[in-house]
Amino acid sequence: MSFRTPDWVKHAVFYQIFPDRFARSPRLVHTPGIQFKPWGSPPEEQGFQGGDLLGVVDKLDYLQELGVNAIYLNPIFASASNHRYHTYDYMQVDPLLGGNRALRELLDAAHARNMYVVLDGVFNHASRGFWAFHHILECGGDSPYIDWFIVRGWPLRPYEHSAEKPHNYDAWWDLPALPKFNIKNPGVRKYLLDVARYWIDSGIDGWRLDVPEEINDAEFWRAFRATVKEGNPDAYIVGEIWHEAREWLAGDRFDAVMNYVFSRLALGFFGAETLRTDYKPGGYTLVTLDAGDLAAGVHHMLSIYSWEVAQAQLNLLDSHDTARTLWTVGGDESTLRLCTLFQMTMPGAPCIYYGDEIGMTGATDPFCRGAFPWHDTGQWNYELLDFFKRAIRLRRQHAVLRTGAYETIYAAHGVFGFVRSLGSRHAVVLFNRNREAQQIDLTLPAHLPTNSRFSAIWNQGEYTALDGRLHGVKIPPREALVLLNELEFAPLPG
């Protein structure tokens, strides 16, 4: 099935924001008596630290200077949890985040800067406070909404339950706080599709879909795609699927998935020396890889999808659901740098988890959800921040690194290399994970112009191809070298 993914995604660098912990705006006046935990409190204390959407607006200058041009927000709808995956009103932005007016301001401000905003859609389950579930709690079997959920006994036990008397309705992962929708109910289907379309019509640029595999109903997702794309053909639909997802990316459901396959490949190769192999993000084992393993993994990852999908995949290293990259690799900053540069030079849309660029670290949830230290810039790693800016700028200055064709050209002795080609432009990208400099001879693909000259656009060096080979190419330790054929050395727009 032939289809197009949104072109803007192919040129995007995403930034994922966990709203309660990103930024608190002094412009948001809360109802008197509201109390938040102090900003920067240990995340394991849970609770609300008061980040809001106006705080995101206030930091758009920072994000634009960093180089990102797309924002993915964790859930923002009314909820009784700081992560807001327990939704009780899908038509209202949580008042603690500033309500619908704050989202309107964010969308307008972002769009004025040619930035995009993608929201998190949690459609598999709601919360005990969701209005239809609450109606059942109050009215029992007399509620007209009884079939919106799957009730297995009376009286319901949403709060008082035990091993002997468990909750008696279907819930996500058997968590009583998260009653599952009965997606077969036509009213539920219409409601969720109406929600999807309402926010698209309000100006959001796409949906990230939480645990979509839990809704094992292909027709629902086909209807979801049709509804969203009818509202905005360029809207991005990306699903949270941790493994290969051929059937989801065939053109009738999603544009892309959160590419945790990419994450595991990058961490396994660049972080091989310090990787916490006892940690299993999403239940998947992290394994160390050599260059040949990485080449095989990348080939498989790119070959199972159409090129349209490959360019739209959300290439992330970590998220609110995983430990931060620095923690996963035992604090080795060079691994984070290599993985980030890998993101910026590979096909797919890079996604940065808030704060990684200044060196935030932490184990898995809740430790990965700390407050961004605006209050204490002494915690910032400014050298790392500068690296992120330069790496993002590299991608944005050179279209060949965003949409150019991909071909692996070297994989041996801890060095991995590939070529990105777009028209007459060819970028040779070489990674050296070794702690010593490497010097290699490189055979170029036959389709590259013979006797071309290449100049470094990341690190240093100039080389001339002789009979299709670059000789004596030097790559610094724990670094990368990116070469561009001299004919097109001028920075490209975008």
- Would the pLDDT of 493 be above 50? no
Q: What is the per-residue pLDDT for 246?
A: 96
Average pLDDT, the chain: 96
Specify the pLDDT at position 1.
Answer: 61
How large is the average pLDDT for residues 314-332? 98
- Nearest in space to 428 (alpha carbons), one of 436, 305, 441: 441
Predicted pLDDT at 455: 97
Q: 53 or 487, which is more confident?
A: 53
- Which three-class secondary structure string do you get for 51-79? CCHHHHHHCHHHHHHHCCCEEEECCCEEE
Determine how many CB atoms are found less than 10 A away from the CB of residue 412.
13
Give CA–CA dist 273/286, Å, rounded. 12
Whether the pTM exceeds 0.85: the reply is: yes
At residue 486 the predicted structure's pLDDT band, cuts being 50, 70 and 90, is: low
Q: What is the mean pLDDT of residues 450-454?
A: 90
Residue 357 pLDDT exceeds 70: yes
pLDDT per residue over 296-308, tens digit each? 999 999 999 999 9
Does 186 have pLDDT greater than 50? yes
Give pLDDT tens digits for 167-185. 999 999 999 999 999 999 9
Please write the tens of the pLDDT for every residue from 39-70. Answer: 999 999 999 999 999 999 999 999 999 999 99
What CA–CA distance (Å, rounded) separates 377 from 367? 20
Q: Of 58, 210, 308, 318, which residue is the catalytic one?
A: 210
For the stretch 140-153, pLDDT in tens is 999 999 999 999 98
145 contact partners, CB below 8 Å, separation of at least 6 = 132, 133, 135, 136, 187
Q: How many CA atoms lie within 13 A of 196 on its CB side?
A: 29
Q: Which of 52, 240, 356, 479 is catalytic?
A: 240
Mean pLDDT for 272-296 is 97
The mean per-residue pLDDT over the stretch 449-467 comes to: 94
Residue with token string 């590939």: 418
Q: Does the annotation mark 436 as catalytic?
A: no
Is 240 a catalytic site residue? yes
CA–CA gap between residue 248 and residue 13 (Å, rounded): 23
Mean per-residue pLDDT, 230-239: 98
